[in-house]
Amino acid sequence: MPAQPVRNMPASRPRLTLPWEGGVIGWIVIFGAVVAELILSLVTYNAPAVVAVPLLLAPAAVALGVGLVQWWQCRSVGAEPASWWHLAAVAVALFAWLIWPTVPGALDGAVGSAQAACKVLPTTQTAQCLPLAARALTAHNLTWWLTGAVILVTALLTRRSRIAAWAAIPIAFAGCELATYFLQALLNHYPG
């Protein structure tokens, strides 16, 4: 009996490079990250920073990680580039980043300096308040600006990764919620 010829099976493409499968995975990841961010912002309201920071960053990091995997896979297999309309997600993220309130009401208008923040806080010990307020303001500002930078980086990945573009939305929420957290922690330190 003659030997059967071996058929060469075509290598299957990774799921993230396929339009339908990649879209479904992306939708699940991004929607899940946005919902998780909103829930975690409520849960971590009074949590210590060692708990709140990783929890608030995790959903956005997962979404960006899946986006980077999609970018790498699409680039590796030479997948068809994504449509430019996916940049709309980056625009939505930038809009949310700009309008999301990151300053708690009690500190509204007093975040220009640590001294201004300490003046509105219910404390008479300004010398002890100044370093705490300075750290909170620095963490708030650094987080807010780094969030904007990461959102812009996702725009660079858009042609090869639809998920990375849409990951900008949970990144915007995570950054704004984390920036708010640092100022809220200052308020929680001085209950009024």
Write out pLDDT tens, residues 9-34: 446 889 899 888 999 999 999 999 99
- Say what the pLDDT of residue 19 is: 85
CA 176 to centroid of chain Cα atoms:
8
Write out pLDDT tens, residues 86-115: 999 999 999 999 999 999 888 887 778 889
Cβ-based neighbours of 74, under 8 Å, separated by 6 or more: 16, 17, 160, 161
- Say what the pLDDT of residue 111 is: 78
Q: Is the dihedral of CA 84, 86, 91, 94 positive or negative?
A: negative
- Say what the pLDDT of residue 11 is: 61
Quickly state the pLDDT bin for 190 (edges 50, 70, 90): confident
HEC letters along 135-182: HHHHHHHHHHHHHHHHHHHHHHCCCCCHHHHHCHHHHHHHHHHHHHHH
- Please state the domain extents for the chain: 18-189
- Say what the pLDDT of residue 79 is: 87
pTM of the predicted model as reported, rounded to 2 decimal places: 0.89
Write out pLDDT tens, residues 37-55: 999 999 998 899 999 999 9
- Say what the pLDDT of residue 85 is: 93
